[in-house]
């Protein structure tokens, strides 16, 4: 399985600011995804990060709020923009292939105050 490094592991941010989360994989992977896990909830897919093109967002998530970059097959970033307390969650990067399981980074615990 791929080794996924995600940073920062946690952060406390002021409302109205933005935070960029980085995800680095130790091998080239086809698929990279960003999930959100709100307190006590399961994982919700934010978007699929596409290499060299715009991310594919799920219903309820928009590029202006969650811009995503994927400049190559081993790296992606997720920015949480203009944060509010409702954005306090764990954000998870995951990687996988077309037909198989997904592996997760250690997550970023975000608290917005």
Instruction: Take residue 22 and report the two structure tokens written for it.
Output: 């980085």
Instruction: List the one residue from 33, 74, 78, 80 that touches other proteins (CB under 8 A).
Output: 33
Q: How buried is 100 (Cβ within 10 angstroms: 0-12 exposed, 13-18 middle, 19+ buried)?
A: exposed
Instruction: Take residue 71 and report the two structure tokens written for it.
Output: 């400049």
Q: Should residue 43 be labelled a site residue for other proteins when binding is judged by CB under 8 A?
A: yes
Closer by beta carbon to other proteins, 57 or else 75: 57
Only one of the segments 18-26, 41-49, 68-76, 77-85 lies at the binding site for other proteins (rule: CB under 8 A); that segment is 41-49
Question: Least distance to other proteins from the beta carbon of 34, Å?
Answer: 9
Instruction: List the one residue from 45, 51, 61, 73 that touches other proteins (CB under 8 A).
Output: 45
In this structure, what are the phi and psi dihedrals at residue 87, rounded to the nearest 5 degrees?
-85, -5
Alpha-carbon span 71 to 81, nearest angstrom: 20
Using CB under 8 A, list all residues that contact other proteins: 1, 31, 33, 41-45, 48, 90, 92, 94, 96, 98-107, 109
């Amino acid at each position: 399985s791929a080794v996924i490094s995600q940073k920062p592991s946690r952060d406390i941010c002021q409302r109205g600011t933005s935070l960029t989360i980085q995800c680095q994989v130790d091998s080239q992977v086809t698929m990279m995804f960003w999930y959100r896990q709100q307190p006590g909830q399961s994982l919700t897919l934010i978007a699929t990060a596409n290499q060299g093109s715009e991310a594919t967002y799920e219903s309820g998530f928009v590029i202006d709020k969650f811009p995503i970059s994927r400049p190559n097959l081993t790296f992606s970033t997720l920015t949480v923009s203009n944060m509010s307390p409702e954005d306090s969650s764990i954000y998870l990067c995951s990687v996988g292939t077309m037909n198989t399981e997904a592996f997760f980074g250690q997550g970023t615990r975000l608290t917005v105050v």
